[in-house]
Amino acid sequence: MNIILLGASGQLGSEWQSVINEEYSEAGDIILLPYTSSQLDITNHEAVRNEVREQQPDVVVNCAAFTDVDGAEDQRNKAYHVNVEAVANLAELGAELDYKLIHYSTDYVFPGRIEDKKTFPDGYPENHAADPINYYGQTKWEGEEAIRQASQKHLIIRVSWLCGQFGNNFVKTMLRLERERDRLQVVNDQFGSPTFAGDVVKNSLQLIRDDQKGTFHLTSRGLITWYDFAKEICEQNGVNVNIEPVKSDAFPTKAKRPSFSKLSTKKLESVSGTILINWRDGLETLLTQIQNR
């Protein structure tokens, strides 16, 4: 299976390379062709078309995205070019050249209302109506729709609170702040569950092997706040820091954040071979990976 990986130097793209190199290289049934954004800019439609035509992949995995949530409010054209137009081009090429497109989306496509916590105790299902509360979420939703309109041969995988051993994320930020400060404030009124990059790659591969199509949610088991997450990071890391729970308005942001963004994983759980872990177990594995790097 020949796989083109776009956005290879990002948090998720780097994880794809790590998992393939460490766990699948000996099998020899996967040939991964990674491209960083500087090597192949997905907004350069002609360059993408030429490269894909030459390589003739079975699968294209798109990890490239404009992910600066606050920045998207000001850089709307750039966010739209990357998250919508470039994605539509990949989907149209997929229909033309007959490859499967794997694309990652976000919990931010949903409204994130706190009252939805009671309505959907297991999280938003895949078919719940989209209603993004910020422009980043809007572009990710429009990118999803562009894929659905262009090609049936796709997997759209929504994740939330993504963190991994590569790149920047909440876990790494907390590990740094724990070393620098004796006291931290973390919001305690936003509910969700972290998604660990290694699990994303492994479950994505299982969905590909099982020839699944459509939209899936992928995250860890449990429902927590960022405050809960920060406390557990400190505890597992053996650091004694005073963490104070605060409301979201203590940290004003340009883009509105969802109060509730848990994703239901019942659909994913029905697929044989997929593995969903508790968020504490996922954190323990991630901290070990970070410490060993």
**Residues classed as catalytic:** 136
151/93 Cα distance (integer angstroms): 9
Report strand pairing: 195-196 vs 162-163.
Answer: parallel
220 in Cβ contact with 282 (< 8 Å) = yes
Report strand pairing: 183-187 vs 242-246.
Answer: parallel
CB burial class (10 A; 0-12, 13-18, 19+) of residue 222?
middle
Half-sphere exposure of 77 (CA within 13 A, CB side): 0
Q: Provide the token pair at 70.
A: 């606050």
